[in-house]
Chains A and B, each alone.
Chain A
């Protein structure tokens, strides 16, 4: 009796200890970022440009670059990715080719982002002559996001009950009417959640942009996609590689701003998802 009791406790206690370790790891990370970032973050930090002198440096260009990259990724990857998912699920016949496309897309979603970087360098920066610009970065991130958008949209569309489809077709609806009036409203929340995951991945991507060649000292915020490539993640990297503590603090400040941006994006998406779900019911 005693032995079994102690045994039950040991498994449960070990699992509880592991869970506590996870929370402690997270708290240490958050505390480090918060404490270090508090030395530098204020409203001006968001506007100033990077500089060799730590106290006058800010993330203006990097923040603008990240917003540009998000916009380009949205414009390029979302319509193409969601359109592909709709076509493959609702229009294309089930063939070996569509199965192959699905399996390749699912696995491409799992390969390291830095690989998209070297391909983007060869393709967009050099072969297509874009140079290391915001545009080349946006195209590379769009290709990186594409498999995630396709796979998550297909999953969401597939979860729509078959009865809904059949009932609409039975009433004489055309294919597009079924997609527009039944499938998209029902699958919308799932599609949006998947797109948000893709965006979180691309907005935080440093490695592919570093490979494209990122501007380390930008004295102005990029105004058009033809301007040199800069972004929050690459700015964090550049500051993190400096050994002085002041630059580590700048990096932590930029990291905090990036995290808040991602958090805000995810919260808005979660609210919209909730609203869509309510509207559909």
Chain B
């Protein structure tokens, strides 16, 4: 009699505890979903108000961006081109070096060298971007100005180089993971046929890992497009259309930081313009990132065990 009633009470309180925990965890999920949905809702609402006022066509085709001017102009093209220039410039520096470093780590480096390189990469990945920005403005730019005296104090070249340095760890780590997913017997077969190692790398390893490497490139590009502090510090923050890497420019992200420095009031078109630019940036980086993640899961599915 007694044991049963005791165990009965225990079961009841345990069941209640179970329900409490389940409800608590559900509450966490609801809060998280509401918070993330709020981010999307604010962005969509303010951008929607902006595009109700300014036609998307004008937004995408006009070539002057001056939202705070007496006669405001809302042509996002200079910001888009600036962003593309910085991302492309960073890619020129980071992609070959990052990919080759990954190959070196995977194929050539001995244990101790690999540990050292992995440590350096991890440290570089942990450096905040504002620190890279400081390095760009106060070390890389002065150095470049010694080499080319004509270069402006704020220039795209310095920003591109340092954004490249910033995304290097991303390229290296993700490419190395892609290389590691290639089955070793494939490489052994190539070597057994008498092909030199360099040839196995270029003809077997890289083609087999191409999907994962492309994903690494996309995710690194999403980071370069979203990079804010390096560009804000090193490239000026003055919107203009230029092809010269020796002049300054403004990117989508750099423009967004100006919301904190100006005093655009809620509900004005100038305020909403920040969210229109934010929405463009969101769609761009979200899309690139999603494509990259899909490629990762597909290439892992194909070449994995």
B residues in contact with A206, CB < 8 Å: 128-130, 228-229
Q: Is B28 an interface residue (CB 8 A)?
A: yes
Residues 130 to 164 of chain B near chain A (Cβ within 8 Å): 130-135, 137-139
Q: A203 CA to B130 CA in the complex, in Å?
A: 11
Residues 1 to 54 of chain B near chain A (Cβ within 8 Å): 14, 17-18, 21-22, 24-29, 31-33, 35-36, 38-39, 42-43, 46
Q: Is B199 an interface residue (CB 8 A)?
A: yes
Are B134 and A7 closer than 8 Å at their CB atoms?
A: no
A residues in contact with B32, CB < 8 Å: 80-81, 83-84, 146, 150
Are A248 and B101 closer than 8 Å at their CB atoms?
A: no
With contacts A22-B172, A29-B165, A240-B130 known, is A122 near B42, CB below 8 A? yes
Q: A88 CA to B26 CA in the complex, in Å?
A: 9
Are B36 and A104 closer than 8 Å at their CB atoms?
A: yes
Are B285 and A108 closer than 8 Å at their CB atoms?
A: no
Are A241 and B42 closer than 8 Å at their CB atoms?
A: no
With contacts A112-B285, A122-B42 known, is A8 near B129, CB below 8 A? no
With contacts A7-B196, A241-B233 known, is A207 near B168, CB below 8 A? no
Q: Is A11 an interface residue (CB 8 A)?
A: yes
Q: Is A181 an interface residue (CB 8 A)?
A: no
Q: Is A195 an interface residue (CB 8 A)?
A: no
B105 to chain A, nearest CB (A): 7
B residues in contact with A82, CB < 8 Å: 28
Which chain A residue shows the least CB distance to B15?
Answer: A174
Stretch with Cβ within 8 A of A (4 or more), from B56-64, B67-75, B181-189, B275-283: B275-283
Query: How many A residues have CB within 8 A of the partner chain?
Result: 90
Q: A263 CA to B202 CA in the complex, in Å?
A: 37
The one of A18, A105, A123 that contacts B36, using a Cβ cutoff of 8 Å: A105
Q: Is B300 an interface residue (CB 8 A)?
A: no
Q: A9 CA to B198 CA in the complex, in Å?
A: 7
Q: Is A113 an interface residue (CB 8 A)?
A: yes
**Can you list, as one digit per residue, whether each of B102-146 has a CB less than 8 Å from chain A (1) or not (0)?**
011101110001001100110110111111111101110000000
A residues in contact with B26, CB < 8 Å: 87, 91
Q: Is A147 an interface residue (CB 8 A)?
A: yes
Q: Is B100 an interface residue (CB 8 A)?
A: yes
Q: Is A126 an interface residue (CB 8 A)?
A: yes
Are B168 and A22 closer than 8 Å at their CB atoms?
A: yes
Q: A25 CA to B129 CA in the complex, in Å?
A: 15
Residues 173 to 203 of chain A near chain B (Cβ within 8 Å): 174-176, 200, 203
Binding site for B on A (CB under 8 A): 4-5, 7-12, 14-19, 21-23, 25-26, 28-29, 32-33, 36, 79-84, 86-88, 91-92, 101, 103-108, 110-119, 121-123, 126-127, 143, 146-147, 150, 174-176, 200, 203-207, 210-214, 233-234, 236-237, 240-241, 248, 251-252, 255, 258-259, 262-263, 266
A-B contact pairs, 26 of them (CB 8 A): A7-B196, A9-B198, A15-B108, A18-B98, A19-B104, A22-B120, A83-B28, A83-B32, A87-B25, A91-B26, A110-B222, A111-B289, A112-B226, A113-B226, A115-B39, A119-B42, A119-B43, A121-B260, A123-B42, A127-B266, A175-B22, A204-B129, A205-B128, A212-B260, A240-B130, A258-B128
Binding site for A on B (CB under 8 A): 14, 17-18, 21-22, 24-29, 31-33, 35-36, 38-39, 42-43, 46, 96-101, 103-105, 107-109, 113, 116-117, 120-121, 123-124, 126-135, 137-139, 165, 168, 172, 196-199, 201-202, 219, 222-223, 225-229, 232-233, 253, 256-257, 259-261, 266, 274-275, 278, 281-282, 285-286, 289-290, 293
